[in-house]
Each structure stands twice: as structure tokens, then as C-alpha cells.
Chains A and B, each alone.
Chain A
């Protein structure tokens, strides 16, 4: 079983719609959760981090965490063509060496 699983996509949504990206993880002691955006040929860029159950909003982005279900999601409201990228979910245990484990990423395409 992979530690962090994401649907590779592509997820295609029309401009202005809500894009919903999902991630499940296997390690129950995971405490920190991150969403990175990676444009083609570029390096990952952190867009959201979440540590507690519930929702965290930042602009058009909302991260949702459910530790009981071992599930974290990212919602992008009012999707724009510039949001087209691969979104990487990363999960990290508490304490220790603070090493995040990345999923393979979901490709998002926002079409005009």
C-alpha cells in the first residue's frame, strides 16, 4: 500500500468551477499535511498547509483534513486557466526528522 495516494488525473474543470483534489494516506501518526503546486518543468511550490481536523481557507484555496478517515483534500474555487498544474499532496509524521512523503500528484486542467 502506497503511503500517500492521489488520483493522477487529469482532472478537467471549466473556468470558474470548483476543482476538488483528494489525497489519502496510510500512516495514522501523520500530523502535518501540505499541498504543493507544480507547473510543468518547474519545482513544487507550497500553497497550503494544514495540521488540525477541519477546513483551512486561504483565498480561493480551502484545505480539508479528516484524520479519522485519513483523508485530506484541496478545493480551488473560481478555477482559472493559470491553476492548471500538478498538485502534490505531502504528509509528514510528528517529531523525528520532519520528512514529508509526497504523493504522485494530480494533474489539473482548467479549460476556458
Chain B
């Protein structure tokens, strides 16, 4: 079973530029999460999708961040314009429920550096 795929793995941009990240969850996983992990901290949820609908985006800075999951499969997270404090690893995860287990599987992440 293929894992959660993310691209790009690394991105360096200047402040005020825009950037987009892509995520393809594990096949069949209806729930998809985007997290922001700043160095030395735990992951912070930005947005959760259930199929193609948004379940929670209360911590997403909507003035600059947007995300979509149009067909209920892969997802894109965009930042426009980027700020220095957006430098972080952006993690995508998908969730599997069943058989007595409830597990989030994380992708490798995209490391964003804003200069």
C-alpha cells in the first residue's frame, strides 16, 4: 500500500511570494489533514477534510492560506502572500478507521523556507 505522497519536498521563497503544496492521501482514506509544524513544536492542525468537504478550518489563517480537495482525493494547500513566520514543515496526513484501529498516516512533509 502506497503511503501519503507530498510534493515538493522542499521550497524556498521570498516573503510576499505565493506557494502551493500538493498531497495525495492513501487510497480510500476519506479524511485528510494539513498540519503546520514549526521547528521544536508539535504539529498544529490547519484544516481537516472529510471527502471533499471542510470539517474544521478554525486554525487556518484564511487571509493568506487556502486549501481545497475538489474531488475528495488529492488536496492543495496554498499560501499567498507568504510571511517569514510561515517557515515550517507542512505535513499532510490521512486517516484510516476500522478493525479496532484509528490511525493517522503522515506524508514526508514539505519544508518551506521564507526569506
Interface residues of A (CB under 8 A from B): 4, 8, 32, 42-46, 49, 88, 90, 97-105
Contact = CB atoms under 8 A, between A and B. Distances in A.
Interface in B69-96: 91, 95
Contact of A45 (B42, B101, B106): B106
Given A43-B109, A44-B106, A46-B104, A99 B45 contact: yes
A8 B42 CA distance: 10
Contacts of B48: 97-99
B102 A32 contact: yes
Given A103-B42, A104-B40, A43 B106 contact: yes
B24 interface: no
Contact of A102 (B44, B55, B56, B105): B44
A76 to B, nearest CB: 19
A18 B48 CA distance: 36
B102 A49 contact: yes
A98 B95 contact: yes
Contacts of B102: 32, 49, 98
A105 B106 contact: no
A7 to B, nearest CB: 13
Contacts of B91: 43-44
A56 to B, nearest CB: 12
A102 B109 contact: no
A100 B107 contact: no
26 contacts: A8-B40, A32-B102, A42-B108, A43-B91, A43-B106, A43-B107, A44-B43, A44-B91, A45-B106, A46-B103, A46-B105, A49-B101, A49-B103, A88-B42, A90-B42, A97-B48, A97-B56, A99-B45, A99-B55, A99-B56, A100-B104, A102-B42, A102-B43, A103-B42, A104-B42, A105-B42
A30 B41 CA distance: 21
B104 to A, nearest CB: 7
Contacts of A98: 31, 48, 95, 102
